[in-house]
């Protein structure tokens, strides 16, 4: 949960840095699409950890969530690479 929270925070910073930039609009749009997905992932992880459903197939839920997280983290890492290349501050974001 900590890692997902840090990724969401980093994406918010990257979003603010790329908004209104001349060549960063496409990157900003991609960040805007990924943020709600990761927020949903955070909520899903929190629910699984704090309120496990008795009698429910938790392993299947965890596997589905892990697959979705892997896809979203791959997209996050790609966005970090692009942000490092064309971002206004040229700061490299921490990859997961």
Boundaries of every domain in the chain: 2-86
Percentage of the residues of the chain whose pLDDT score is greater than 70: 89
**Per-residue model confidence as pLDDT tens digits over 4-44:** 999 999 999 999 998 887 888 999 999 999 999 999 999 99
Angle at 73 between CA 6 and CA 84, to 5 degrees: 75
C-alpha closest to that of 49 among 95, 4, 19, 11: 4
């Amino acid at each position: 949960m900590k890692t997902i929270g840090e990724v969401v925070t980093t994406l918010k910073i990257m979003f603010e840095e790329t908004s209104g930039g001349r060549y960063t609009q496409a990157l900003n749009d991609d960040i805007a699409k990924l943020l709600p997905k990761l927020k949903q992932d955070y909520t899903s992880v929190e629910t699984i950890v704090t309120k496990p459903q008795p009698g429910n197939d938790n392993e299947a839920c965890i596997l589905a969530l892990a697959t979705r997280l892997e896809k979203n983290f791959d997209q996050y890492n790609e966005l970090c690479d692009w942000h490092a290349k064309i971002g206004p501050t040229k700061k490299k974001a921490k990859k997961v």
